[in-house]
Structure 1
Amino acid sequence: MSAILREKYIQAEAVKEISAHILEDPFGRFSLKGMNGSMSSCVIAAAYDISKNPFVVVFSDKEEAAYAFNDLQQLISEDQVLFFPSSGQRFIKKQTQQINTLDRTLVLKALTKSAFKSVIVTYSEAIMELTSISSDVKEKSIELVQGEEMIMDLLVEELNERKFERSDFVYEPGQFSWRGGIIDVFSYTSELPFRIEFNG
């Protein structure tokens, strides 16, 4: 159903015109007005299909952005649509804050890749919040390669420097545990923790 709907919008003259403007000026800013319900999501999905450029779609508030995000995941695909929320540090409980931090980090990580071609859905509060530049994200990342030599104490020191919290069990981003030759790390860029086993 979503493919049929998207195809109808692709054929619409207004969508072709929007797409032509995007192709003409890929870094331009465009405003869509007077659209109700899921109409804006359908137009965005169709224009994205035609142009194949990365999009940043900014809504006025979180609720509107969340609805559009769900629509666009159905119309385009889940792996091509990313949500960039505010961290909500002052207003929401810790668990939601950590999920938002994970989502923000995933978007920032995706933006550092040269082949980035996704749609980012966000809202005004989220983009007004200060965030790390891509060089900082790369600098603060710890890259481990299987089979490569690594000193366990050095890894623990690196995690402490990056403000990871040591706990008995890891169940949320920003935590790590250390038992013997095993370190479990819950990264901000992963939905599940990593287990690192040291031999010798």
Structure 2
Amino acid sequence: MRLKLTQLLHLVEEMPAYRQLVDELEQKNGTAKAVVLEAAKPYLIAALYQSLRLPMVVVTAQPEKCRKLYEQLLTWSDPSQVKLFPEPDALPYERIASDASTELERVQVLSALADINGEAHAPLVVVSAPALMQKTTPHGDFISACHTVKLGMNIEPFHLLRQWEAMGYRMENMVEMPGTIGHRGGIIDIYPPTSDLPVRLEFLGNTIESIRLFDPASQRSLTSASSIAIGPAIELLTPLLSNRAELEQVLGSINLSGCSAEIRQQFKQELAMLLDKQRPHNMQFYAPLFNKDSILNFLPPACLLVLDEPMNIEQAVDDLEAQASQLRTEKLERGELSPDFPKPYFTWKELEPQAPAATLYHGKRQSRG
């Protein structure tokens, strides 16, 4: 059983230095610097999260440290609000299929920051430098895809199914996993990534007569609901949401002249699949053609960004950029990559201006050099 230490967080509020830190962060465009012992960082972060009641993103340099901090914060905060934004499975420019659980976690974090359920529950997100620098789906595309289905709503069932397939949901005979949908007669099942349970919609004609949560194992209905928020099921949304003309403009601009005959053929086959709204097994490889934002673009105006040892984060981003540049050079030399293929990540100089007004720096703030 996990210990619950949230009742100890109020003790730090009696310290003048902590009250001053909170005051500084609550100022308009407030930034602050705090130097604390490594063991005290989870406590301080959880205390600030409780005091400020704002969405918070904590950035660490390395994935290992990120996961450790995430585990610690689960003890100090409400576990339902603490989230981990994982790194992508593939190296830059690598053609492999994404792990479904990794993509699910990333979508859940983006959904929480976008507050698609409208519950105004401020999430506490922990992210490593590799995950921070990875480009993600445009915030506008993500938000525009979100919608709410309500009891009594008039909507054609097949329209809903087409809409959800364009948001990345996969059609299955039985809905048991997040990101899937099913249809039989006047019933549609859907399992949104943000829902603890799948949802069953029963139609009379084009009218939604009932909305029920159900057990994915037994498939039996559990409780009724008056509405359900539906968000994207995948991170790479744009190629599924775009029309053919828009896709042709993006996909037709790729220069394959420097690629080997085998790679050129692979590109053509997979680009044809994307044009037909199909999803290649290595679809994430093509994300840089469409993904333009970072997780920072999903932060609301009132939020807090915590940089845990900023110089180490900057160093980690720079190191990863150097490794990615080397990989790109090698692939270009082997004819495995289009010369104008966009980068799948942001550099530190590109990320810094995206930081929100309220930022807490753990350790030295100044840049290296």
Identical-pair percentage: 21
Cα separation, 2, equivalents of 1:23 and 1:52: 11
Cα separation, 1, equivalents of 2:101 and 2:42: 26
Cα deviation per residue 1:27-70 (whole Å; 9 max; x = unaligned)? 53x55556223x10111222334444432211122332233223
Cα separation, 1, equivalents of 2:116 and 2:28: 19
Aligned to 1:44: 45
Within the alignment, does 1:107 sit opposite 2:108 as a pair? no
In structure 2, the CA distance between the partners of 1:156 and 1:53, relative to structure 1 (3 Å rule), is closer
Matches within 5 A, 1:113-124: 115=120, 117-124=122-129
In structure 2, the CA distance between the partners of 1:25 and 1:44, relative to structure 1 (3 Å rule), is farther
In structure 2, the CA distance between the partners of 1:111 and 1:154, relative to structure 1 (3 Å rule), is closer
Q: How many residues align?
A: 197
Within the alignment, does 1:94 sit opposite 2:96 as a pair? no
Aligned to 2:63: 62
- Matched AA of 1:146: L
Aligned to 1:20: 23
Please, which runs of 5 or more residues in structure 2 have no aligned partner?
A: 92-96, 206-369
Cα deviation per residue 1:128-180 (whole Å; 9 max; x = unaligned)? 12223443223112432111111112112212322322121122232211112
* Match of residue 2, structure 1, among 5, 8, 21: 5
In structure 2, the CA distance between the partners of 1:114 and 1:2, relative to structure 1 (3 Å rule), is closer
Aligned to 2:131: 126
Aligned to 1:190: 195
The alpha-carbon deviation at position 26 of structure 1 amounts to: 5.3
Say whether the 8 Å CA contact 2:116–2:146 is kept in structure 1. no
In structure 2, the CA distance between the partners of 1:148 and 1:128, relative to structure 1 (3 Å rule), is same
Please, which runs of 5 or more residues in structure 1 have no aligned partner?
A: none
The alpha-carbon deviation at position 24 of structure 1 amounts to: 2.4
Aligned to 1:157: 162
Aligned to 2:278: none
In structure 2, the CA distance between the partners of 1:50 and 1:178, relative to structure 1 (3 Å rule), is closer
Cα separation, 2, equivalents of 1:26 and 1:72: 26
Compute the TM-score of the two structures, normalised by the length of structure 2.
0.46
